[in-house]
Amino acid sequence: MRAPLDAPGRPQCALFLSIAEQFEATVLLAQAGLTTHAGVHVRSMLEALADVYQLASKSDHVRRMRYEQAHGEKKLYDRMLATDLLEPHDRAMLEARLAECLTRYQPLHEEFRRGKPSQADHFIAAGLPELIGPYTMLCSFTHSDLTALALRHQGERGMILRAPVAYDVLFLVLSLATYSLVHAARALEAVVYLPEGSYDLHMARLEALQDELMVLRPELPEADQANESRPEAAGAQ
């Protein structure tokens, strides 16, 4: 893959490659019976997909990404310097790094300090509001809340390693991973440099993979099928 030398194309390509790596990690974890842990990677894939889209549509998004990076770096140094346990040479090193960080942070802070968008805001700005709900569910896997812990370790007679995961959860995790990979690849069509015909070939393979996965979609209960077949009536209420 030949990527552009500058933003926004270059970070878009880097994000796509990270999404591709995380897709592989997701599949390997699912094959090992660790699907809920794979959800942590899928959550990051959805965040990256929103960035890919916003880099294409918002001229200031790459600067916002730089601000978030500098903000996190500044927070790290501030917290490390707050301890009284640092050796003098370590403190001097961290203070020098903080000073360099502030040269990048301050100008961006003036631009972006008013209102930090939530991840839901990022999905909306990217035109992907349908991902807000699934993303929220995946957050429970990342933070190991009680629901995620029960899914991972609750057996019929006690707590176990690698508790079997319901098929609908497995399908949701894999379908979201595939969605992210396919849509990120589509966004690169006008960005990446590939031999003639290569992009179309790769996209055809990805879309065929997605089609094969959707054939395995779990069947809805009869009540849900009835509701899904009457969207106009539901919307008229």
Give the C-alpha separation, 64 to 52, whole Å.
Answer: 13
Most confident segment among 54-63, 112-121, 225-234: 54-63
What is residue 154's three-state secondary structure? Answer: strand
**Is the pLDDT at 153 greater than 80, yes or no?**
yes
Q: What are phi and psi of 157, to 5 degrees?
A: -120, 5
Distance of CA 138 to the CA centre of its chain: 10
Read off the DSSP letter of residue 114: S
pLDDT band at 115 (very low <50, low <70, confident <90, very high): confident
**Is the pLDDT at 237 greater than 60, yes or no?**
no
Give the C-alpha separation, 127 to 186, whole Å.
Answer: 14
Give the C-alpha separation, 106 to 90, whole Å.
Answer: 24
**Is the pLDDT at 163 greater than 60, yes or no?**
yes
Give the C-alpha separation, 51 to 183, whole Å.
Answer: 12
The residue type at 117: P
**Is the pLDDT at 80 greater than 90, yes or no?**
yes
The per-residue pLDDT for 227 is 54
Give the C-alpha separation, 56 to 135, whole Å.
Answer: 21
- Contact assessment for residue 51 and residue 61, using Cβ atoms and an 8 Å cutoff: yes
Give me the residue spans of the domains in the chain. 9-228
Q: State the average pLDDT over residues 11-21.
A: 98
- Contact assessment for residue 97 and residue 77, using Cβ atoms and an 8 Å cutoff: yes
Smallest Cα–Cα separation from 173: which of 50, 48, 29, 38? 38
Say if pTM beats, i.e. exceeds, 0.85: yes
- Contact assessment for residue 41 and residue 178, using Cβ atoms and an 8 Å cutoff: no
To which residue do tokens 């699912």 refer?
30
The residue type at 196: E
Higher pLDDT, 224 or 115: 115
Give the C-alpha separation, 177 to 24, whole Å.
Answer: 9
Give the C-alpha separation, 54 to 51, whole Å.
Answer: 5
**Is the pLDDT at 230 greater than 70, yes or no?**
no
The per-residue pLDDT for 225 is 54
Measured between alpha carbons, how far is residue 108 from residues 116, 125, 151, 225 in Å? Answer: 13, 20, 42, 50
Mean pLDDT in the chain? 92
pLDDT band at 224 (very low <50, low <70, confident <90, very high): low
Instruction: Assign 3-state DSSP to the chain and report helix, strand, coil percentages, each to 5.
Output: 75, 0, 25
